[in-house]
Amino acid sequence: MAEDSQRNFRSIYYEKVGFRGVEEKKSLEILLKDDRLDIEKLCTFSQRFPLPSMYRILVWKVLLGILPLHQETHALVMMSRKEQYYNLHRALKVIRFINESTPKIEVFLHMHQLESGKLSRSQTYPLEPDDEVFLAIASTMEEMVDDDVDCYWLIRSFVNHLDAKYRDSQPHLPKAFEHYLNLEDNRLVTHLKTCYALDKLPYDLWFKKCFAGCLPESSLQRVWDKVVSGSCKILVFVAVEIFLTFKMKVMALNNADNIKAFLGKIPQDNTDAIVSKAIDLWHKHCGTPAHSV
């Protein structure tokens, strides 16, 4: 345990002072020099290492299919994406579905609905569960990405990625969470069962929304690196590590609703450490997975 704590401390310290990732950054730069990008190698890199912030958006756009593999076509493709973005935006303004005061994430939602043929006839139509997921992810992605065009395409593609790749896996994540938490600390699982809290945990926030609205974007980017590159199981270990980090607080709560309320609004001051430890747990239980769901 002491060795694990020391390793976690070192990894966090090195990242804070900028020592971590120098060789990894060079490796990624080599991968990105090829005209035809290698999806398998990019996924493997993202599974093994944190993506440098200066390359994250480019890698995400390639892995999510926004950009093609051949880099010489990127400028032309993004020009087309930009034109499509403004066409959708203009159409929504023409039909008076949006205006200058419409919040940006709602504009993105309506653009996605229009593009997918799901735009309702009225703006007062109640949101579907998938719309709530879209808005949560959009709110977080907006904090990560400055350019509106890039932001929309990343939100749209990320949400589609979750639906296409992980829809069948998501219902099994709560059981996986219980399994791995039991391996790490069975007293916590016993406490949750005693409080009848296991079925009331904020699984939608954790697994459907990928912790959007729970963790700050600065911490969440490294988690989404793994989700984009092929693993939603990382979400399980983030949930496990949240419990391990706030064990004393959770053990002091004897009401399922209070536990759920606390987990929906966890303290934000040590989330970088939570993510680092969650990634360590992920590697501990799953090795160095590539495309592991």
Class of domain 168-293: mainly alpha
**49 is written with which tokens?**
């290492």
Count of Cβ atoms closer than 10 Å to residue 62 Cβ = 21
Residue 252 pLDDT grade (very low, low, confident, very high; cuts 50, 70, 90)? very high
* 3-state SS class at 150: helix
- In DSSP terms, which residues pair with 167 in a beta bridge? none
Please, where in the chain does CATH 1.10.8.680 lie?
A: 74-165
Residues 257/200, Cβ–Cβ less than 8 Å:
yes
pLDDT of residue 27: 87
Look at residue 184 and tell me whether its pLDDT is greater than 60. Answer: yes
Look at residue 9 and tell me whether its pLDDT is greater than 50. Answer: no
The CA angle 279-222-207, to the nearest 5 degrees, is 75
pLDDT of residue 1: 45
Of 61-65, 122-126, 181-185, 210-214, which range is least confident?
Answer: 122-126
Query: In whole numbers, what is the pLDDT of the chain averaged over residues?
Result: 89
Q: Which fold has domain 21-63?
A: Arc Repressor Mutant, subunit A (1.10.10)
pLDDT of residue 48: 87
Q: Which fold has domain 74-165?
A: Helicase, Ruva Protein; domain 3 (1.10.8)
> For 13-54, how does the pLDDT look when each residue is reduced to its tens digit (9 = 90+)?
444 433 355 678 888 989 999 889 999 999 999 988 889 989
- Average pLDDT on 130-136 reads 95
Of these ranges, 3-7, 56-60, 122-126, 267-271, the one predicted with the greatest mean pLDDT is: 56-60
- Average pLDDT on 190-199 reads 95
Please provide the DSSP assignment of 79-137 as one string. HHHHHHHHHHHHHHHHTTS--TTS-HHHHHHHHHHHHTT---S-TTSPPPHHHHHHHHH
Please, where in the chain does CATH 1.10.472.80 lie?
A: 168-293
Quickly list H helices, the chain: 2-17, 22-33, 39-48, 53-63, 74-94, 104-115, 129-144, 148-166, 173-184, 186-194, 203, 217-229, 234-245, 247-252, 256-264, 271-286
- In DSSP terms, which residues pair with 70 in a beta bridge? 36
Residue 249 pLDDT grade (very low, low, confident, very high; cuts 50, 70, 90)? very high
Residue 286 pLDDT grade (very low, low, confident, very high; cuts 50, 70, 90)? confident
Residue 121 pLDDT grade (very low, low, confident, very high; cuts 50, 70, 90)? confident
- Average pLDDT on 68-78 reads 96
Please, where in the chain does CATH 1.10.10.750 lie?
A: 21-63
pLDDT of residue 152: 98
pLDDT of residue 135: 97
- Average pLDDT on 125-136 reads 91
